[in-house]
Amino acid sequence: MIRLGEPAASSRWFLRRGLASLTEGTPAYRSASQRAAPALVVIFVVVMLSMVPEASANLPVSLGIASFAVLVTWVGGNVVRRSPAFSPVDRIGWGERAVFVLVPVVAVLLAPHEEWSVDEFTVSASESRWYAAAGLALTQVVILAVVMFMVSYGVVALSAFLSRELIRSMGVAGDSLTRALPLLLAFVAFSYFTAELWQSVGRLDSWAFLGLTALFVALSALFLSSRHHLDLGELSSFETREDWLTAVRRATGGREPELPRDVAFPVVCPLLPRQQANLRLVATLSRLVGVAMVGCAVFLVLCVIGVLVVSPEVAKAWSGADPDVLVQWSTSRRTYLLCWENIRVSTFLGVFSAFYFAITSASDATLRTSLYDSAQDLVRQACALRTYLLARPADGSALPGESAN
């Protein structure tokens, strides 16, 4: 349950679902430079106090230089921003990014270095200094780019959200799975016992197999993200105040805020192109979680069938070569094995079944409801909360009547 009167709580609601872009233009908005500040400050201190001394020849002197550089950077940056000397860094602008990369490099250049050699290759102290500085500069640039990318697109938050969706979908989509799995198995089971599939897919190298799998995953994602399955115009529109309140109650756990009385319904939540792309991405990934469950179920069943039915002799006859055995054991009557050919064929049929299920479920209202409600509800709740936040005063103060709720 979130407190709508607190912009930070509303911001966390969007962040936890990978929808940080939807807070833009509202009192709850926090830019990527603000959200990345704590992580980058910690990384900067760790690099200065560990990697800089490690790259030099005199640990105490290098540690002193690094510590002094951290202190000067902190105080000097606050003085430049006209903030208290020891106030925390609350944002990472272009100046802070330059400091993040250049200060460790300067500290390494100032630290003492010594000559070192490997076999007949000798590096002078001066060359060692510049090699260490160049390597650390490249490391800092990569770290900065990765952190900003992950924060900007909410990679960690989105991963956590999809994990929660997976756990929730195991119960919600159970009925769809029990009805769909027998039909899908009947559809793909005969394909599993064809030598051509074992000779083609079963003998693919790793990159070709990953490319084939990625192709069907991409086609499923494109299909599920199409306008026919996710109409953002309809989901972001609220015909009546009750429609809007219903979406807000689901998002807030029952709280009922009030929009200003001059807000006339129907209301359409304004969405920028990047916000629409953000919603489509999260909704599509949420839907793929449910579809992936179907594919995983087919994969597991076919793997078990292969272990029980396909002997080493059959696997060799079908694939045209000795099977690449992963696990093998024997009894008095026969030899059982789990081979990579079995895994590749089962994976391919599982991914293909998930793709087929994603398409056919579009014509089955029951399957569509079981799999897609979470994605559509998420989009509608996010649009309802954004509409509320846009209606709030710019200073984030409460709306009339909000304190009573």
What is the pLDDT at residue 262? 64
- Residue 110 scores a pLDDT above 50: yes
What is the pLDDT at residue 281? 85
Answer with the residue of higher pLDDT: 27 or 67.
67
Q: Give percent of the chain with pLDDT exceeding 70.
A: 84
Mean pLDDT of 296-301: 89
Q: What is the pTM of this model?
A: 0.69
Across 80-84, 113-117, 372-376, 390-394, which has the greatest mean pLDDT?
Answer: 80-84
- Residue 342 CA, distance from chain mean position: 30
Helices (H), 16-93: 32-35, 37-46, 52-54, 59-80
Q: What tens digit of pLDDT does each residue of 189-205 get?
A: 888 888 999 999 988 99
φ/ψ bin of 89: left (φ > 0), alpha (ψ from -120 to 50), beta (otherwise): beta
Answer with the residue of higher pLDDT: 219 or 127.
219
What is the pLDDT at residue 175? 59
What is the pLDDT at residue 260? 65
- Residue 313 scores a pLDDT above 50: yes
Q: Record the tokens describing residue 305, joined without a space.
A: 């069938």
What is the pLDDT at residue 345? 94
What is the pLDDT at residue 348? 94
- Residue 303 scores a pLDDT above 90: yes
- Residue 182 scores a pLDDT above 80: no
Mean pLDDT of 171-188: 69
Nearest to 380 by CA among 201, 241, 250, 225: 250
Measured in residues, the chain has a length of 405
Q: What is the mean pLDDT of the chain?
A: 81
Distances (CA, A) of 384 to 4, 7, 54, 79, 291: 12, 15, 52, 42, 27
Q: Do 37 and 90 meet the contact criterion of CB atoms below 8 Å apart?
A: yes
Q: Do 354 and 291 meet the contact criterion of CB atoms below 8 Å apart?
A: yes
Answer with the residue of higher pLDDT: 104 or 52.
104
d(CA 318, CA 366): 39
CA-angle at 224, arms to 278 and 149, nearest 5°: 30
d(CA 399, CA 351): 50
What is the pLDDT at residue 124? 77
Q: Record the tokens describing residue 303, joined without a space.
A: 């793997």
Least confident of 81-95, 184-198, 251-265: 251-265
What is the pLDDT at residue 401? 42
Burial category of 311 from C-beta neighbours within 10 Å (exposed 0-12, middle 13-18, buried 19 and up) = middle
φ/ψ bin of 259: left (φ > 0), alpha (ψ from -120 to 50), beta (otherwise): beta
Please give the full DSSP string across 339-399, using - where no structure is assigned. Answer: EHHHHHHHHHHHHHHHHHHHHHGGG-HHHHHHHHHHHHHHHHHHHHHHHHHHHS-TT-PPP
d(CA 235, CA 228): 12
- Residue 339 scores a pLDDT above 60: yes
Which residue's entry shows tokens 């991405």? 281
d(CA 303, CA 100): 50
Q: Record the tokens describing residue 128, joined without a space.
A: 């060692």
Q: Do 345 and 192 meet the contact criterion of CB atoms below 8 Å apart?
A: yes
| Residue 39: other Cβ atoms inside 10 A | 16
What residue segments make up the domains of the chain, in order of their start? 19-152, 155-391
- Residue 253 scores a pLDDT above 90: no
